[in-house]
Homo-oligomer: A and B are copies of this chain.
């Protein structure tokens, strides 16, 4: 039913398929004398970060009893050696012997070959998607800190991506047709071709390296009036203050470039943006109904006087 249910079902389905294919539950790795737990233990020891049995137990989530016995077996096979911990009599510092490192290296080659075989078994196109998705999942889990939005300047492809995202979002949410996509494409083509660093600027908002919003500062017919254009924030990235950050950055830059006023054109249906503009110091100066993008809309012109304190963030 709900989004959450569907998400859970998607992950479960993925889980099943992945488990079957990667053989994660195969305790004995193919052609290797080590069980999965042993292999993980060896891996931790080879990394050299975890050096006591208690640490291994915590990092790997294994029972201390099992660790103790496994280590004893490894010591008997000459794979590891222990030295007393300086300043703590009970602890024992663990390290791989030469032989242990060799065993680990063999294990590494083995896993690599297994995964390599998996990758090769897929058509090249799907293998690429698999790797990309794997990286996405790993990065989603790896980062312990919550994602922090940050702004960057334009890169190749940004003009197109902004066009695509806005077209898709407004088509989905408001039924706007391809006329709007063409308008955005033309605005951005004009922006790029008449770009002048003293009068124009653009920022892309990113979250975890993914584009989630944009804003453009464009010169108009009048020298001291700039235009704010194409502000948008991805729905799933809203509520993080990204819109506010984009508008504030744009206003500050416009002021730094010497603009006296900043105008923008928007539509009344875009209520989320409206709030951002108001709080940033914009005032509604005109409204006019029009039929565009296949819909009946009310266009709005907002204006922000940059010579007053407006937009300096005092109305936070």
Q: CB within 8 Å of B: which residues of A?
A: 4, 7-8, 10-26, 36-37, 43, 61, 111-112, 115-116, 118-119, 122-138, 140-143, 146-147, 154, 156-168, 171-172, 177-179, 181-186, 188-189, 191-193, 195, 207-208, 210, 212, 236-237, 240
Contact = CB atoms under 8 A, between A and B. Distances in A.
Contacts of A17: 137-138, 141-142
A137 B147 contact: no
B171 A167 contact: no
Contacts of A135: 10, 14
Contact of A137 (B18, B24, B115, B189): B18
A143 B160 contact: no
A124 B18 CA distance: 23
Contacts of A207: 125
A156 B305 CA distance: 36
Nearest to A126: B140
Contacts of A157: 163-165, 167-168, 171, 181
Contact of A8 (B18, B115, B186, B208): B115
Contacts of A131: 7, 10-11
Contact of A116 (B8, B36, B166, B189): B8
21 contacts: A8-B116, A10-B131, A10-B135, A11-B115, A12-B115, A18-B137, A20-B61, A125-B237, A132-B133, A134-B137, A156-B168, A156-B178, A159-B163, A159-B164, A160-B165, A163-B164, A178-B192, A182-B189, A182-B191, A185-B189, A186-B193
Contact of A192 (B181, B208, B240): B181
A237 B21 CA distance: 24
A140 to B, nearest CB: 4
A118 to B, nearest CB: 8
Contacts of A158: 164
A22 B168 CA distance: 33
A36 B115 CA distance: 23
Contact of A140 (B129, B141, B188): B129
Given A13-B138, A25-B37, A185-B185, 7 more contacts: A10-B135, A126-B147, A157-B164, A159-B163, A160-B166, A179-B193, A182-B189
